[in-house]
Amino acid sequence: MAQVILNNLVKTYGAVYAVNNVSLTVNDGEFVALVGPSGCGKTTTLNLIAGLIPVTSGDIVIGDRIVNDLDPKDRDIAMVFQNYALYPNKSVYKNLAFPLQMRRLSKDDIDQKVRKAAEMLDMSHLLERKPRELSGGQQQRVALGRALVRDPAVFLMDEPLSNLDAKLRVQMRSEIKRFHQDFEATIVYVTHDQLEAVTMADKMAVMSGGFLQQYDTPAQVFANPVNMFVAGFIGSPAMSLIPLQASSVDGQTVLTGAEGWVMPLSAENARKVAKASSKKVVLGARHSTIKLHKTQVPGSVPAKAYTVEPTGDVTFVQAFLSGAIVNISVPPTVDVAPDEPVWLEFDQERMHLFDGETELALKA
């Protein structure tokens, strides 16, 4: 196992920056998820690490070697592809044996390693089958087996679960996590599903527009998003982002909504707002930190319920506030009707404030 370091990595296609100055370190044995929407550069980054496409500038270090100019075969990596990329004309056994054959191991060695890998992944009975005779989950497992059979320094995974159905995905998610723990494998994992990243990874790298937005543990990214993009991307339902105006009334900092209501801020939040580059401030709040009242209480602001989605455990209410849609979770016992006026109370301790111009999180 080994570490992976990206130094100011850049990949351009003509004038387009697919990967723009990305630097991050994946420590030995760490599970890092590259996450972001389609076209954010996460897969390009993975392909750069794999060596499938040449870098424009910057360095890639695997272990203690700069691998920029090395062929994929010399980088000591293994990759699991989104479509598994199993060799369709080879049996499962031969699929697993292929990486070993390419490394010119002896027949006995190959046989031993293949059977061991098959046993670990519980597919010894499938060795003679062809990939097309396997179910999606089994194909996925063969792909995983082909990656681990030769004990690479780094595992690269490109959305390995996105072709599975929902139930199997959850199951394979825990299998991959278990695999990571058992082998202390260094894994770089690309996904567009933030839930996968949050549940599986030690650290997540949130990307957008080719830029690395934030690189931290899922808990940190969840609790302290550095900007509005990360705040809106991580978490389900997404964090509500409400554009407001900051002003000062009688020496106290307040936020004013488009409907004219006023929300006084705590001293700490007031210090944050003072750092903003303009009067425009965006309030961010997760659904669980907002309280919904059916009557006006002190500190609450008026909104209008839009949709109500009972899920059993909780009911999600979407409400209009200052031109934005706010997600609130309430106990299923609370009965809210669409278009009903409601009052929302924000938790001053757990709210996020963003600069309306730069979209960066405001810090006290």
Footprint of another protein on this chain (CB under 8 A)?
A: 50-52, 71-73, 75, 77-79, 81-89, 98-99, 102-103, 130-134, 136, 139, 146, 150, 163
Q: Could you tell me the smallest distance in angstroms from the CB atom of residue 143 to another protein?
A: 8
Q: Could you tell me the smallest distance in angstroms from the CB atom of residue 109 to another protein?
A: 14
| Complex with another protein: residue 51 or 284, whichever CB lies closer | 51
Q: Could you tell me the smallest distance in angstroms from the CB atom of residue 204 to another protein?
A: 24
The backbone region for 29, taken as left when phi is positive above 0, alpha when psi lies in -120 to 50, beta otherwise, is left
Minimal CA–CA distance to 205: which of 177, 169, 230? 230
| Complex with another protein: residue 67 or 230, whichever CB lies closer | 67
Q: Could you tell me the smallest distance in angstroms from the CB atom of residue 21 to another protein?
A: 25
Minimal CA–CA distance to 222: which of 178, 284, 166, 265? 284
| Complex with another protein: residue 36 or 99, whichever CB lies closer | 99
Q: Could you tell me the smallest distance in angstroms from the CB atom of residue 131 to another protein?
A: 4
| Complex with another protein: residue 102 or 274, whichever CB lies closer | 102
CA distance 65 to 198: 30
Element spanning 270, H or E: helix 267-274
Residue 190 and residue 200 in contact, taking contact as beta carbons nearer than 8 Å: no
| Complex with another protein: residue 47 or 240, whichever CB lies closer | 47
CA distance 149 to 342: 58
Structure tokens at 233: 């991307």
Please name the residues in contact with 119: beta carbons below 8 A apart, sequence gap of 6 or more. none
CA distance 192 to 159: 8
Please name the residues in contact with 68: beta carbons below 8 A apart, sequence gap of 6 or more. 55, 59, 60
| Complex with another protein: residue 21 or 91, whichever CB lies closer | 91
